[in-house]
Amino acid sequence: MKKKIIFHSGSLRMGGLERVLVEVLQNIDLKKFDIKLLIEDEFKEENIFEKDIPKEIKITYLIPENILQKTKKLRENKKNIMHKIGYNLMMQVERYIRNKNLMKFLKENEAEVLVDFDNGLSKDIHKIKGLKKVAWLHNSIPKLKKKKSKIDRFGKRLNNYDIVVAICDDMKIETETIFPYLKGKVTRIYNPFNFERIKNLAENDSHLSKKEKEMLKENYIVSVSRLDNVQKDYPTLLKAFKELKNEGFNKKLYIVGDGPSRKEIEDQIIELNLEEEVKLLGQQKNPYIWIKNADLFVHSSKYEGLPTVLIEAMIVNTVVVSSDCPTGPREILDNGNCGILVEVGNIEGLAKGILEGLNQKEKYNEKLKIRVEEFNKEKVIKEYEKLILER
């Protein structure tokens, strides 16, 4: 008899967490599990991964799209006092509808295991009884929550789960250090990666324009992430690239992604006189072809969970230079044996790391091929299934 499982997450938008969720649901053995997927937001146009969910898995949304659209319109005009009042009222309406639909769903859908993949149920988890509850941590808690009061509150909520999964060893250690009362509850399972799919996409240029195909032929290094200076620290990367240019560096920098700091990044590119060398490529559903054809992958984050994009770069055999931020890069790169680690926020260090990576690619290539096998979906999905099947 199939084990009945509920997976919960916030959305099916483009994002690292969402990509991992889809990978899990596409590869978990549906002969063993009857899975229902509970998603918070029904933003159809933004939930681009919806079509990738296996048809056997029923998706239920907690907040209808028409409600979300009304809230979005009011939020975009919050400078108007009436819109601000309306926005606050709609947020209350959203919460009421969401909570009502959540309780209705749980009442109507019997399950043995609840996997809260983004911790979006942490405020409600103490109300949910009669099933095994699993929380998944995708980010460093201190960097995510920042204030001590929020960290403490989050720890108490995590204690209401039966199992807490961290996606790397550093994060497991960090969680148990901050919350000693969680020792024994926390385990580590890496994110799964479909090597064959990633390698095939890395060879597929059918979606590219003529101009983009020409850009692929350039000598370039690449960065792929959400454009968020608070976390991803693009100012350090751009200043390091400027230093390299001043020393005669003749490669370009392509940045794949979009996000709230795009305007700041565009302004900094102009300020540093890098318009010809640095290109913002925007959101790309297939970033792998840009990574594979790059001379080097560079990552400048201040903090992470387990930065999946570093693993994706390794899968297509592109050498990585990364900030040594908490958590993930040091573990992924095996303490610098499979790639180059540099101090967070160190402009000169990042510039030197880029040059070292380009000059010593052969040194890292074979080692990264061996290390990256730890993230292969065949190995990781077995760990997911074991966790769910255990009483």
276 and 381 co-located in one domain? no
Task: Report how far apart the first and last C-alpha atoms of the chain are (Å, whole number).
Answer: 15
**What global pTM score does this model have?**
0.76
- Predicted local distance difference test score (pLDDT) of residue 147: 87
Which pairs from 291-294 meet CB under 8 Å and 24+ separation? 291/202, 291/222, 291/224, 291/316, 291/318, 292/202, 292/203, 292/316, 292/317, 292/318, 293/216, 293/220, 294/220, 294/221, 294/222, 294/254, 294/318
The pLDDT of 300-326, averaged and rounded, is: 92
- Name the pLDDT band for 389 (thresholds 50, 70, 90): confident
Give the lowest-confidence range in 13-17, 28-32, 186-190, 296-300. Answer: 13-17
- Predicted local distance difference test score (pLDDT) of residue 391: 60
48 and 79 in contact (C-beta within 8 Å)?
A: no
- Name the pLDDT band for 69 (thresholds 50, 70, 90): confident
**Number of domains composing the chain:** 2
Sheet strand arrangement including 252-256: 278-282, 252-256, 220-224, 296-299, 320-323, 340-342
216 and 159 co-located in one domain? no
d(Cα 112, Cα 62) in Å, to the nearest integer? 20
287 and 336 co-located in one domain? yes
pLDDT tens profile 163-206 = 999 998 988 999 999 999 999 999 999 999 999 999 999 999 99
Helical packing angle, 361-371 and 347-359, nearest 10°: 90
- Name the pLDDT band for 60 (thresholds 50, 70, 90): very high
158 and 39 co-located in one domain? yes
Domain of 48, CATH number, reads: 3.40.50.2000
d(Cα 255, Cα 240) in Å, to the nearest integer? 14
Which residues, including other chains, have CB under 8 Å from residue 144's CB and lie 6 or more apart?
Answer: none
Quick check: 82 pLDDT over 70? yes
342 and 321 in contact (C-beta within 8 Å)?
A: yes
- Predicted local distance difference test score (pLDDT) of residue 79: 73
Look over the chain and give the mean of its residue pLDDT values, rounded to a whole number: 92
245 and 287 co-located in one domain? yes
Sheet strand arrangement including 113-116: 58-63, 33-41, 3-9, 113-116, 132-137, 163-166, 186-188
The pair of structure tokens assigned to 178 is 């901050």
12 and 61 co-located in one domain? yes
210 and 186 co-located in one domain? no
192 and 222 in contact (C-beta within 8 Å)?
A: no
Give the lowest-confidence range in 107-116, 133-142, 378-387. Answer: 133-142
360 and 250 co-located in one domain? yes
12 and 39 co-located in one domain? yes
103 and 218 co-located in one domain? no
243 and 347 in contact (C-beta within 8 Å)?
A: yes
User: How, if at all, do strands 340-342 and 33-41 pair?
Assistant: unpaired
The parent domain of residue 279 ranges over: 195-375
123 and 69 co-located in one domain? yes
Quick check: 154 pLDDT over 90? yes
250 and 335 co-located in one domain? yes
